[in-house]
Amino acid sequence: GKFDGILGVLGGLSVLRALHKSGYVTRHPIELINWTNEEGSRFSPPMMCSGVFAGVFTEEDVLEKRDRAGIRFGDELDTIGYRGAEPCGRHPLTAYFELHIEQGPILEAEDKTIGIVTGIQGARWYEVTVRGKDAHAGSTPMPLRHDALLASAKMIEAVSLVAKEHSPSAVGTVGLLENRPNSSNVVPGEVFFTIDIRDPDDAVVLKMEQDLMQRLQQIAENGGVTIEVVQIWDAPAVHFDQQCVNMVEEAAAEGNYPARRIVSGPGHDAGYVARVAPTAMIFVPCKDGLSHNEEESITKAHAEAGANVLLEAVLKADQFFNPSE
């Protein structure tokens, strides 16, 4: 989208420009970070580079990651000139703040300008391969079919059902699907799809996983197909630093911005950075709660409010934390 991630980078740049223009000298050095591959859409897992910074992944493993076409992540970094000389994570952070659109409908629905993000819900991603047997659509009787796509359709429905059964906050999504051989007159022999499950409570995520895996296996047996499930990402729920969260809350109050505390549904680089530095996030509303969509939109007033809160939170952290830390 036009603002997912970009708002945070440009908001941080605005903070640096404001400090420079005013001549204000902070006690700490202020650094703007534009993380690479936060989404994890082409190269998995997501938040790959903040994960290296936080020690969740090794740099060597990440550089060897390949996309579906077999292209190596490290080679692509070289191609676009994003391979820096300094080893990732060498220097510490005293505190970290990230500005972002909400990517959901809550702030807009409640007419709030600022979301004070207290943490990020837990998430697990899986890659699923269902294998049946290619067969002619006209000559293969229904009882003798091993239809991978039919079984996969029931599995996809199971993802939704499991999420609904663990309401109110659980979500489950199948966002990528590949059908093979993908021909109109062939019973599909193989299907690949992804699963994304999330909840603020790690225990709920685990229960969802257990329930879902049992259902997927039963569907496979009933459909005469085999199933292979590979977990490619496990992100436990994140709870941000209380002092940093309070700084965001105070900054919003001082700016007279209507605000509320909120838990992030999507993952963010801040989730990994929180493992190595005091961290908090700031949300602003997005129209109709839409994100990962071409209609993603925010107002100039909300962008300004978010940047102002970011600036004030950074200044509060600069005074609160000892420069030697």
Give start and end residues of each alpha helix (H) in the chain. Answer: 6-22, 48-53, 59-63, 73-80, 106-109, 148-165, 202-223, 242-254, 269-273, 300-320
- The pTM score is 0.82
Q: How far apart are CA 139 and CA 312, in angstroms?
A: 70
Angstrom distance (rounded) from CA 21 to CA 70: 47
Cα–Cα distance measured from residue 292 to residue 294, given in angstroms and rounded to the nearest whole number: 7
Question: Would you call the peptide bond into 266 cis, given omega within 30 degrees of 0 as the criterion?
Answer: no
Domains plus CATH for the chain?
Answer: 6-31+93-121+237-320 (3.40.630.10), 122-234 (3.30.70.360)
Spatial CB neighbours of 120, under 8 Å, sequence gap ≥ 6 = 235, 237, 238, 263, 264, 266, 267, 268, 270, 271
Q: Show the low-confidence residues of the chain (pLDDT under 50).
A: none
Residue 103: which region, alpha, beta or left (left: phi > 0; alpha: psi -120 to 50)?
left
What's the CA gap between 160 and 325, in Å, rounded? 46
The SS3 of residue 193 is: strand
Q: Which strand (E) or helix (H) includes residue 232?
A: strand 226-235
DSSP-derived letter for residue 87 is P
Can you name the residues that pair with 195 across neighbouring β-strands?
Answer: 126
Tell me what pLDDT residue 325 has: 54
Tokens of 236: 């436990």
